[in-house]
Structure 1
Amino acid sequence: MKIIDGHCDVLLKMFENSSIDFYDPLNAELDVSFAKMKRSGVKIQFFAIYLAESMKQPNFDHYLEYINIFYQKIIANGRIALIRNRTDLNNVMNGSACGAILTLEGADAIRNHSLYTQILFHLGVRLIGVTWNYANWAADGVLEPRQGGFSREGKRFIKECNDLGIILDVSHLSVKSFWDVADLSQKPFVATHSNAKEVCPHPRNLDDDQIRALLLQKGVIGITFVPWFVKEKGAVIDDLVRHIEHICALGGERQLVLGSDFDGISQWIPGLENAGQFAHLAQHLSKYYKDEWIEGFFFRNWYDFLRVNLPPG
């Protein structure tokens, strides 16, 4: 079975530890490595540029450092190809190489510079989560105490991303910011790694009205493996299935995808500790769903979204 995973933080670990080798078959530092991707059949992996919260003065050069790591240490040998547009997507699907989509998690260092956004696009970034958990120049994040929405500059940024062909990710936005995107975006948007708040009441999960709005606008929601987004304590794979069931009950069976958040977590659901273990989730889902539905969750739904919403090429 082919798999598309919509979020991982491999680049953060490689930024913090330059000795990590993504292609080392014995790699133990990464949840997502090339060998683990191949073991599960991960055909396309999204790689996030995330500047850690401990970085007090993030600047645009930090983004460039991550992008340099991505090109030099993940893309350079040809076993993983960068996907920038629909042509690249088709080439990956028809070839032997795996694919990578470069994303940005937290637009803090863009600081309302349109040139920076354009440079990121030219360097291959195709999806941006505007905030991490807190506020920046553009919007409030989900844990920002004031719980505001987008600033005037942030609202311009929504249009700029729409015009360039950059997909917007609402996973870390405040509720007000989410609804600003829903109201203002002229293109479908996504939640790459969020679960259902009705099943687990974590602030990072989406409530039913948010999920319905995202589905109505032809977006996708990525089921994530962060244990405390799945269940408040003691999450297991069957608890993850409850989120899938709930989103499907809202009409999301063709828009539910995967967004593991591997390498962004220090605790794991037993049996889903790394990218080599997606088969365990498939086995649990097979008790409840036909193969066609599981193939949709694992691959087809992301693929159908990307082939419509990536730039033509």
Structure 2
Amino acid sequence: MEIIDLHCDVLYTLSQAEEPISFKNNEKLEVTLEQLKKTNTKLQVFAIFIDDTLNENQRYLEAIRQVEIFHQEIITPYEEMVHITDWKQLEQLQSNQIGAVLSLEGCDAIGSDLRKLQTFIDAGILLCGLTWNHENAVAYGAEEDPTKGIKPFGREVIALLNAHHIIIDVSHLNEQGFWDTLQEATYVIASHSNARTIQDHPRNLYDQQLRAIAEKGGHVHCVFYPPFISNEASVTIDDLVKHIKHLAKIITPSRVGLGSDFEGIDLYVENLTRTEEIPNLLQALEGIFTTEEIKGIAAENFQHFISKIERS
């Protein structure tokens, strides 16, 4: 069974390492080439994430450095890894190849300069979040006042992303920003969020939001971070399955996917601590969903979603 994971923070880990870390098989990494191969991963999305303690110029330069790390440490050394810059490339991958996509986790790196955003578009990002958890020049994050919407510059950002057929990721937006984005964005997805009905956390989505994403034609990819799953001290795969069942109930199984957030989390679901353990989650879905539905959640739903994106 193929797997598509819409979110990991390996680039940030590699950028912060004091000594070189091999993406191939370093046991310190939660996502490695060998694990991707072992789990038959077809596509891994690599987020560009920067520390919001940096000043505006430093943020841009750090984000550019992570693009360089993506090529130097993920793509160039390994013939199996293929940089996907157009979704149609995914259909052309050989059986021994793994697609790698760049995403921008929040627009902090661009400040209020559309030219900087264009730089990342030119670098090949195919998904873009408008914020992380905090306010920037574009919008307000999940930890901000939920009544504040997209800023005027944010509407320019959305227009540019739409013009390049880039998926806009709503996972980190506050509530009003979410609704504003749904009105203006062409392609919308939540790359790593869960159901707020199950776990009342600002990073999760209310049922009304889930339905609105589905009506927009979008998908929701569940995240593996325990605080987004349960308040229990020990969180199990069964706890995460509750979210997947609820998402499927609200938006149908055909609009659900995976967004692990590996390398971006410091707490873990039992037996779901790295890429090689994702099959444990898929196995737990057996008997709840059909084999075809599980294949969809694992990868095929997202492939169907991108098949509808207009070619650039």
Question: TM class, shorter-chain normalised?
Answer: over 0.9
Query: Separation in 2 of the partners of 1:67 and 1:173?
Result: 23
Does structure 2 conserve the Cα–Cα contact (< 8 Å) formed by 1:12 and 1:52?
A: no
Provide the rounded CA distance (Å) in 1 between the counterparts of 2:163 and 2:225.
Answer: 32
Name the CA distance, whole Å, in 2 between partners of 1:84 and 1:308.
Answer: 16
Query: Tell me, what secondary structure is at the counterpart of 2:189?
Result: coil
* Aligned 8 A contact 1:190 1:221 in 2: yes
Deviation readout 1:48-103 (Å, 9 max, x if unpaired): 000023435443211110000000110103221011113322222x4421001100
Query: Hey, what does 2:239 align to over in structure 1?
Result: 239
* Whole-angstrom CA distance in 1 between matches of 2:292 and 2:109: 42
Query: Structure 1 residues 11, 143: closer, same or farther in 2, change over 3 A?
Result: same
Report the equivalent of 2:61. Answer: 61
Distance apart, 1:271 and its partner CA: 0.6
Matches of 2:147 and 2:109, distance apart in 1 = 21
Equivalent residue of 1:278, what SS? helix
User: Taking every aligned residue pair, what percent have the same amino acid on both sides?
Assistant: 33
Q: Deviations over 1:218-255 (max 9, x none)?
A: 11101110011011122210111111111111133111
TM-score by length of structure 1 reads 0.95
Q: What is the aligned residue count?
A: 308
Q: 1:146: how far off?
A: 6.5
Distance 1:215 1:302 in 2: 13
Residue in structure 1 matched with residue 141 of structure 2 by the alignment: 141
Give the match for residue 78 of structure 1.
79
Hey, what's the Cα distance between the residues in 2 that align with 1:67 and 1:188? Answer: 23
CA contact 1:102–1:127 (8 Å) conserved in 2: yes
Question: Is the CA contact (8 Å cut-off) linking 2:131 and 2:141 kept in structure 1?
Answer: yes
Residue in structure 2 matched with residue 125 of structure 1 by the alignment: 125
What is the TM-score with the length of structure 2 in the denominator? Answer: 0.95
Distance of 1:54 and 1:121 partners within structure 2: 24
Q: Is the 8 A contact 2:161 2:168 kept in 1?
A: yes
Root-mean-square deviation (Å): 1.4
How many Å separate the matches in 1 of 2:162 and 2:204? 24
Match of 2:206 in 1: 207
The aligned counterpart of 2:42 is: 43
Structure 1 segments unaligned to the other structure (5+ residues): none
Structure 1 residues 164 and 257: CA distance shift in structure 2, 3 A? same
- Which ranges of 4 or more aligned residues in structure 1 deviate by more than 4 Å? none
| Superposition map of 1:50-199 within 5 A | 50-57=49-56, 58-76=58-76, 77-92=78-93, 94-145=94-145, 147-185=147-185, 187-199=186-198
| One-letter code aligned to 2:83 | L
Question: Helix, strand or coil: the match of 2:269?
Answer: coil
Decide which moves more: 103-112 or 190-199.
103-112
Deviations for 1:249-279, whole angstroms, at most 9, x for unmatched residues?
1133111010000010111101100000111
User: What is the CA deviation profile of residues 135-171 of structure 1, one whole-angstrom value per residue up to 9, with x for unaligned ones?
Assistant: 0001000101474111111112111110112210000
